[in-house]
A and B are shown apart, each in its own frame.
Chain A
Amino acid sequence: MSGHNRLPAPSGLYINRDKSVNFTFEGKSYQGLEGDTIASALIANDQWLMSRSFKYHRPRGPLTMAGQDANTLVQLKSEPNVLADRQNIAANMDVMGQNYNGSLEKDKDDKLGYAGRFMPVGFYYRAFYKPAGIWDKWEPFIRKKAGLGFADLTFKPVYHDKAYLFHDVAVIGAGPAGLAAALKAANAGASVLLVDENPVLGGALTYHRFDIEGVCASALRTKLTHDVLNHSNIRVLTSATCNGWFTDNYLPVIQGNRMFKVRAKQCIVASGAFEQHVVFRNNDVPGVVMSSAAMRLMSQYAIKPANKAVMLTGNDDGYLCALELIKHGVSVPVIVDMRKQVDDPALYDAVVDLGINVLFESTVYEAVPSADKKRLAAVQIHKITGKGQVAANGISLPCELLCMSAGYMPVYQLLCQAGAKLSYDDASARFALTNLPKNLYVAGSANGMHELNAVINDGEVAAHTCLSSLGLASDSPESIACQRHTNFPWPIFKHPKGKDFVDFDEDLQAKDIINATRLGYRDVQLVKRFSTVGMGPSQGRHSALPTARLVAEATHRSVTETGVTTARPPFVPEKLAHIAGRIFSPHRFTPMHQRHLELGAHMIPAGIWRRPAYYGKPADRDAIIQQEATMVRNAVGMIDVSTLGGLEVRGPDAAEFVNRIYTFGFLKQPVGKTRYAVLTNEQGVVVDDGVSCRIAEDHFYITATTSGVDAVYREMTKWNAQWRLSVDIANVSAAFSAVNVAGPLARKVLDKVCSDVDFSNESFPYLAYREGTIQGVPVRLLRVGFVGELGYEIHMPTLFGEALWDLLMEAGAEFNMKPFGVETQRLLRLEKGHIIVSQDTDGMSHPGELSLGWAVNRKKPFFIGSRSVDIVMARKQTRKLVGFKLSAHSTRPKEGHIVLAAANQVDCAITGNVTSSEYSSTLGANIGMAFVGIDQQEVGSTFPIRVDGGEVVMAEVVKLPFYDAGNARQEVI
């Protein structure tokens, strides 16, 4: 049975009576209906106790039935801190309470409440730290007690994603104001997005009673929702939360596992108002609820919340709630009205006619729980004698339910995130939101409207303003003022025995807030931080106003002067999965990627590229690298260098442009020749390098580093925006794939596939550039020596990459040519003493430190960074990049290991670091490059490197290159 206290239809707007859902709570089986939340299904089965409070472990049940409070936090199998009055039940769902020691029903830690006097506000800032060392004793205990719920570490992430939505008008909140606004905007032709956090449209129309007869809400909701749902210009998102407001109406809206990123030209926030509680002793006992919560239970979930209820109110809405309770068979013997009189006499007559006794100028001063503390048993009613003061004696009235309504506070969070100012008039106890940014509007009860016709009118007024901004015609509605008073000015009745909660999330009582002010925290923001009021899951929805009132009173100021705490996104807790969404991790493959996989390459990331490190298993890394290196040194190998950056500079000023960008001289670079190109930034730091190929007088093709090319391209276009040289600059990195065929037999391989280029040393010397065709495919050929052997880079249009790779592999087969990977290339170039910018350089490396002075033309008038290069190279040098060598038996330093000033001095200075390190079978030694102190650079001297485990090894400084100092290998005839 889905609960014995279900009401007949038409109550139950959210539920499907035809479909039962079984679930468990605390191991006990329950049955609810489809559409039930965990909380409604439990209450339907008379289970009000759902949670334990954060600090004192007090029994807690639903307060709002709208997910606005932390009283219903429960644990699901894979998710802690789920709001039971927001989460729908699902078949076989296992729900547990949380934050208890023992069981939810019998929590051993509920005795903490008796120790409350020893845990005053902010006690944790002052306790646990003295005497010295005591924290270590306290920490395990505190850690055990801290936190709510348990994370399921075996949980497998589920799919979340994001989507953009674009609309003329976004309306946040589908209550009467939001529905009216959406319809008016849509009727004028605007594209409207209507967002509501509830599963059914209507807002307060789905539960609130607006008239004595109790008929207008249902009829109005039916009409408005029908019109909205059938309007082609309106997109409706229900069960969706707009969780923040960002500049220019950028709105994150979470629905299910998707976050919509909404872009709206206009935005209307019709988010409604939070009903406020009354502060009195034991106002947290299960069964003490907001009047709106009781009406939600009846209207939305068809649940009769109690047999006997008391209504505590500071406005006329309490009377309407009482009428609704009576209608559904709940006995309401008394309305406790904190005011002197009712605003609408007809309401008074209506309730009196039903036999309800109205006690004016009275309040509930204490709620009395049942013996097992799990449910309200009675209320103690006292006469109000002054502001927050009550008579000494009162009357006790048994009841299971106390409905309270102290008034309303606008749901101001999104608006204040947008910079709106929330002000409060102490005299009328009314709020106002002002200072809204352009294209953002507020409507309905969030705007202080509390009469239905005024609410609807306000929505239409906001829509009209939006339409005017959009240039769409619409009738201008007459504004209707609303002077209705809904907020009782001082619904706080501090009790000498305490437990009069201001903030349910953090178990903060009235005295806690007052004590914070006595400790000197006069500013409400400081009170918040010291006491943690408003910092719990409900983010001050109910505590902000009483806190402001208490701080104002204690500091002899008005609430207006005190203000309320700041609202920041997110509006409700959101999962990291929503923020992450479907993770887009772009990665790039070269055209030969499939071939690398077929050849067993071990692929590694290089920026966003994937490159072969070597061809074989990681377990055999060292041996494979040496084998591949030996192949290149003695025969021929081929490496995929498609990831190299490529830049085209064309036009009459191409040479002048390149000459200004790079450090070398390029004005006289001959056509058909390549030249090393170093790029410094304006601070004189080497940031990239490559090879400049002069294809024609007005055409350069320049390579750049894999990870640096995009930045170089940006720099080039940025500078030419100033220089206005007549050039066309193109980033062609992806358009060309490339391989480097290297080794003494490289020429023989090329000769087999490219017949229209003479590869002889005379016709195609070292550092020359040629163009040719391979099987009709145009290719660019660069004679290079990066790995220290005869080598040709072949740059081909990308769509031919795989075909030419296959052709070259086939041509090289007779010479036993195999591919080699990027780690092998790093070893080969290290042997040759070639640096890799960003590996052997850092954010401070200038050409002098890198021994690149030869690549800097000091005679030309300008290159980027020229002035800085002059300055930094003229200064006293402090470090130098040098080659080093260690015996093959020595511990091999790793990249990043530090270079010390002295070997035997523990606290000596760090003078540098290792930038490259590898074992070289060619040299039979461990070799590398490192930054060392300027006094450690002498060839033949040694310097200490601290390696793993604190060991210090002595490396010998070696003149670069390690291999083939005479360049005979790359000049091979």
Chain B
Amino acid sequence: MDLFNLSAAPDLRKSMLDLASTKAKATRSSIKMQDCTVFSRAGFRGTGAEAFLASHGIAIPTKPNESLSCQASLVVLRLSRSEFWIISTDNSEHAKIEALEVAAMGVENVYPLYCQHSHACFMLTGAETENMFSKVCGVDLRNNVFPVGAVAQTSVARTGAIVTKQTHAQGDYFLLFADIASVQYLWEALTDAAAEFV
């Protein structure tokens, strides 16, 4: 027991999001949202987590509530002094993430987290995204105060959420992580909020 591999069977993962109900609104908006819930990710917490990740070549943000992009499509979030999430933003790094999770088993003071299955993940792009967020979130996510690499652990549409801003070749984007059981509700709330930005 206690060898529970949360990265197992990636092909059997299924997001419970039903996009049909919001398709019309989403199509009109200049803000584009992608459901990345099934994309591979892993989380680690504990006083040994930072050293563990560093030993596996993972670049670590220097301060809590920061994120950075490393190794192509990997984004690393530092949510506290001792909590880290590693996200594959295009689902191309499953092997690396699963290897990390397997390697962490039994490592002292490193506790694997359940973020793969506890959180939905949306990627949001578009110039008006920060203005859309102002309708659903009490944190100022405008570019001048929420630059690339910033992380907010906040509430979005009354649902606990983690928001980070990152950049890739196509430009800046937001990643939003929130309660997976609320995925349908939150998607609909965000689609509604985004609808005015055409």
Question: Is there a chain B Cβ closer than 8 Å to A402's Cβ?
Answer: no
User: Which chain A residue shows the least CB distance to B46?
Assistant: A728
Q: Does A19 contact B (CB under 8 A)?
A: no
Chain A window 582-606, contacts with chain B (Cβ cutoff 8 Å), 1 for yes, 0 for no? 1011111111011000000000000
Chain B interfacial positions (CB closer than 8 Å to A): 1-6, 8-9, 12-16, 18, 37-38, 45-46, 111, 113-119, 134-138, 140, 142, 144-145, 157-159, 179-186, 189, 192-193
- CB contacts under 8 Å to B, within A541-579, are none
B182 partner, pick from A588, A594, A695, A800, beta carbons under 8 A: A588
Q: Which A residues from 154 to 181 make CB contacts under 8 A with B?
A: 161-166
B135 — which chain A residues lie within 8 A by C-beta?
Answer: 161-164, 582
Q: A164-B138, A734-B118, A777-B8 are in contact. Are A695 and B185 (CB under 8 A)?
A: no
Q: How far is the CA of A793 from the CA of B18 in the complex (A)?
A: 27
Q: Which residues of B contact A699 (CB under 8 A)?
A: 2
Please name the 10 residue pairs, one residue from A and one from B, whose CB atoms are nearest each other, closest first. Answer: A735-B114, A735-B118, A588-B181, A166-B140, A799-B13, A797-B117, A696-B2, A735-B117, A728-B111, A584-B158
The answer to whether the Cβ of A775 comes within 8 Å of any Cβ in the partner chain is: yes
How many angstroms between the C-alpha atoms of A797 and B137 in the bound complex?
29
User: Do A802 and B16 form a contact, CB below 8 Å, given A164-B134, A588-B179?
Assistant: yes
Cα separation A591 to B119 with both chains bound (whole Å): 13
A488 at interface (Cβ–Cβ under 8 A)? no
**Least distance between A956 CB and chain B CB atoms (Å):** 42
Contacting pair B179 A734 (CB below 8 A): yes
Do A589 and B142 contact each other (CB < 8 Å), given the known contacts A162-B135, A650-B111, A735-B118? Answer: no
Interface assignment of A910: CB less than 8 Å from any CB of chain B: no
Among A166, A609, A798, which residue has its beta carbon within 8 angstroms of that of B142?
A166
> Which residues of chain B come closer than 8 Å to A776, judged between CB atoms?
8-9, 12
Neighbour of B114 across the interface among A671, A730, A800, CB < 8 A = A730
Q: A166-B140, A798-B181, A799-B116 are in contact. List 7 more A-B contacts (CB 8 A).
A: A166-B142, A584-B157, A594-B16, A642-B181, A730-B114, A777-B12, A799-B14
23 A-B residue pairings within 8 Å (CB atoms): A165-B134, A582-B193, A584-B136, A586-B157, A586-B185, A594-B18, A650-B111, A728-B45, A732-B118, A734-B181, A736-B117, A771-B2, A775-B12, A776-B12, A777-B12, A778-B5, A780-B4, A797-B6, A797-B117, A799-B38, A799-B117, A800-B9, A803-B12
Contact of A832 with B by CB under 8 A: no
Which one of A590, A695, A728, A799 has the greatest number of beta carbons of chain B within 10 Å?
A799
Considering the chains assembled together, what is the distance between the CA atoms of A773 and B1 in angstroms?
A: 12
Report, as a range, how many residues of chain A touch the other chain: 35 or more
Give the residue of B119, B137, B157, B185 whose beta carbon is less than 8 angstroms from that of A588: B185
A162 to B145, CA, bound (A): 21
Q: With a CB–CB cut-off of 8 A, which chain B residues contact A765?
A: none
Within 8 A of B (CB), among A713-743: 728, 730, 732, 734-736
A695 B142 Cβ-Cβ under 8 A: no
Q: Min CB distance, A882 to chain B, in Å?
A: 36
Q: Which of these, B6, B16, B137, B145, contacts A591 with CB under 8 Å?
A: B16
Complex Cα distance, B140 from A584, in Å, reads 19
A771 to B18, CA, bound (A): 31
B195 → chain A, closest Cβ, in Å?
10
Q: Is A263 an interface residue (CB 8 A)?
A: yes
Collect the chain A residues with CB atoms within 8 Å of residue B1's CB. Answer: 671-672, 695-696, 769-771
Nearest chain A CB to B17 CB, angstrom units = 10
Q: Which of B15, B111, B145, B189 contacts A799 (CB 8 A)?
A: B15
B3, B13, B116, B181: the one contacting A589 at CB < 8 Å is B181
Q: Are B37 and A799 within 8 A (Cβ)?
A: yes
> Within the assembled complex, what's the spacing in Å between the Cα atoms of A829 and B127?
54
Bound Cα distance A161, B186 (Å): 16
B118–A798 touching, CB < 8 Å: yes
* CB-defined contacts of A164 to chain B, threshold 8 Å: 134-135, 137-138, 140
